[in-house]
Amino acid sequence: MSKTHVKMTINGDEVEALAEPRTLLIHFLREELGLTGPHIGCDTSHCGACTIDLDGKSVKSCTIFVAQAQNAEITTIEGIAHPDGTLHALQEAFRQHHGLQCGFCTPGMITRAYRLLQENPNPTEEEIRYGISGNLCRCTGYQNIVKAIQVAAEELSVKEAAQ
Amino acid sequence: MIPGSFDYHRPSTIDEAIGLLASHVGDALILAGGHSLIPMMKLRMATPEHLIDIQDIYDLSAISIGANQIDIGATVTQAQLIHSEELADCCPILRETSLQIADPQIRNLGTIGGNVANGDPGNDMPAIMQLLDADYVLQGPDGTRTVKARAYYEAAYFTARSENEILTSIRFTKPAAGHGSSYHKQKRKIGDYATAAAAVMLEVSNGSCTSASIAMTNLADTPLWAEAAANALIGSALDADAIAAAVAAARAITNPASDGRGPAEYRTHLAGIMVKRAIETAHARAG
């Protein structure tokens, strides 16, 4: 079985590699590129810990082959903070409002919420809960995750209004 | 979990895809969104030697709504179905159903073609296509043929599609303006398959039901089109007696498995409740 030449943009950097087509995108990100932010939780596309942003959509990177992502534009949790290292409003809000306990689901939660707030900048609590329904957290009971996303949404719209 | 090795093909035309399938018949599978196939490959329940990724075949990715007919390409995602305002206006049950499938990330990749083609009895769209009396368009080396959704499913994972054919689109008559429809799905949690689910579409004129269709999901090893149940509604005022007759007829054709979603008796009971609620909701929406 021959290897495939893959090329994609990840967190703003162009990446080229030879990979077996059967390589799952999550394994490529974590093992080839050392991007260990996206996690492998259930490995069955239920838990959302492996969520990344692919061509402007949230997807579960455990259920996509690297070859399918040819020429894609990808953002992982490593690409969410600002280039100067300061935290994104979502990251800051999760920190301030205890939106995590063990932290395992957090990269997927924040990456999903990042896209959710672009699709819907002012979501209701119900829209947030439905929007993150593909991400499981076994610690928090979701309350503080929802609160953190609400706070980040407010922060981001205040910033936008100021610009 | 690591899937078995395969050669990856990414054709840009349907003819090229059919050619690839023909030259590896029995060893090749079609990959669209991958959200049924990749989990099966990770479990090594599917071990194709060749995967033919059809995402670049532009012709398969469109929703076209004509005066009388709706055509949906096989690689249209659940998210596309949800976001099409035009489709939601003329056939709202598709958005209603897609919103009850899996979760946002999966709906971004999972396609309608994959949902209907593989014959998984847990999938929701097959019952909807039986409800709508849709035709599946199958293309192979010998040309194109259509198979009715109501005749496509033979048993779990066994369908009328030959190994050398690709399901390229779904066609159905545009539902009449003023119809009412509803899909009621009972599930244990977001992302789960139905414990029991029922779809209803009907028309009402002067208080009387003039047409009806009913279909059910995950209550047998194929989707179920409940013809007798629908006939129990036609000509009635959708009163309690008519609904009870439809519920009894629908329950009579179920044959669910006893599994983690509950014993068979419970799931049949729930099927009746889903049918009743779907009739009532569709009725309220008609007109």
pLDDT tens by residue, B94-103 = 999 999 999 9
The SS3 assignment for A33 reads coil
Q: Check whether B148 has a pLDDT greater than 80.
A: yes
Judged by CB atoms closer than 8 Å, whether chains meet at B35 and A45 is answered as yes
The ipTM (two decimal places) reads: 0.96
Kind and range of the H or E run holding B135: strand B135-140
Average pLDDT of chain B, as a whole number: 97
Q: How far apart are CA B131 and CA B135, in angstroms?
A: 11
Question: Once rounded to an integer, what is the mean pLDDT over residues A113-136?
Answer: 98
Topology at the third CATH level for domain B180-285? Enolase-like; domain 1 (3.30.390)
DSSP E strands, A20-96: 51-54, 57-60, 73-75
Shortest Cα–Cα distance, B249 to chain A (Å): 35
Contact of B5 with chain A, judged by CB distance below 8 Å, is answered with: yes
Report the residue of chain B nearest A116, measured CA to CA: B104
How many other CB atoms are there within 10 angstroms of residue B238's CB atom?
A: 22
pLDDT tens by residue, A78-92: 999 999 999 999 999
pLDDT of residue A159: 85
Chain B residues 200-219 with a CB less than 8 Å from chain A: none
Q: How would residue B90 be classed by pLDDT, with cut points 50, 70 and 90?
A: very high
Contact of B10 with chain A, judged by CB distance below 8 Å, is answered with: yes
Q: B258: which DSSP letter?
A: P
Judged by CB atoms closer than 8 Å, whether chains meet at A1 and B53 is answered as no
Question: Once rounded to an integer, what is the mean pLDDT over residues B128-140?
Answer: 98
pTM given for the model: 0.96
Closest CB from B3, B55, B104 relative to A22: B3
Contact of B109 with chain A, judged by CB distance below 8 Å, is answered with: yes
As assigned by CATH, the class of the B58-173 domain is alpha beta
What percent of chain A stands above pLDDT 90?
Answer: 94
Domain ranges in chain B are: 7-53, 58-173, 180-285
Report the residue of chain B nearest A2, measured CA to CA: B7
pLDDT tens by residue, A6-49: 999 999 999 999 999 999 999 999 999 999 999 999 999 999 99
Pairing of strands B224-225, B208-217: antiparallel
Contact of A44 with chain B, judged by CB distance below 8 Å, is answered with: yes
Q: How far apart are CA A7 and CA B262, in angstroms?
A: 47
B286 neighbors B180 (Cβ within 8 angstroms):
yes
Contact of B53 with chain A, judged by CB distance below 8 Å, is answered with: yes
| Closest of A22, A111, A13, A1 to residue A66, by C-alpha | A22
Kind and range of the H or E run holding A17: strand A13-19
pLDDT of residue A79: 98
Residues of B in contact with A58 (CB under 8 A): 104-105, 108
Judged by CB atoms closer than 8 Å, whether chains meet at A21 and B38 is answered as no
Q: How far apart are CA B249 and CA B226, in angstroms?
A: 8
Report the residue of chain B nearest A5, measured CA to CA: B8
Report the residue of chain B nearest A44, measured CA to CA: B39
Contact of A68 with chain B, judged by CB distance below 8 Å, is answered with: yes
Q: How far apart are CA B252 and CA B236, in angstroms?
A: 20
* Chain position carrying tokens 């119900």: A126
What percent of chain B stands above pLDDT 90?
Answer: 99
Chain A residues 7-36 with a CB less than 8 Å from chain B: 20-22, 24, 27
Task: Spell out the domains of chain A, with CATH numbers in brackets.
Answer: 4-79 (3.10.20.30), 89-162 (1.10.150.120)
Which residue blocks in B237-263 are alpha helix, DSSP H? 240-252
Residues of B in contact with A133 (CB under 8 A): 103-104, 190-191
Q: How far apart are CA B249 and CA B243, in angstroms?
A: 10
Residue A65's region, left for phi above 0, alpha for psi from -120 to 50, else beta, is beta
What percent of chain B stands above pLDDT 70?
Answer: 100
Q: Looking at A152-156, B86-90, B188-192, B200-204, which range is the least confident one?
A: B188-192
Judged by CB atoms closer than 8 Å, whether chains meet at B8 and A134 is answered as no
Q: How would residue A160 be classed by pLDDT, with cut points 50, 70 and 90?
A: confident
Judged by CB atoms closer than 8 Å, whether chains meet at B104 and A59 is answered as no
Q: How would residue B174 be classed by pLDDT, with cut points 50, 70 and 90?
A: very high
Topology at the third CATH level for domain B7-53? 3.30.43
Q: Check whether A1 has a pLDDT greater than 70.
A: no
pLDDT tens by residue, B72-85: 999 999 999 999 99
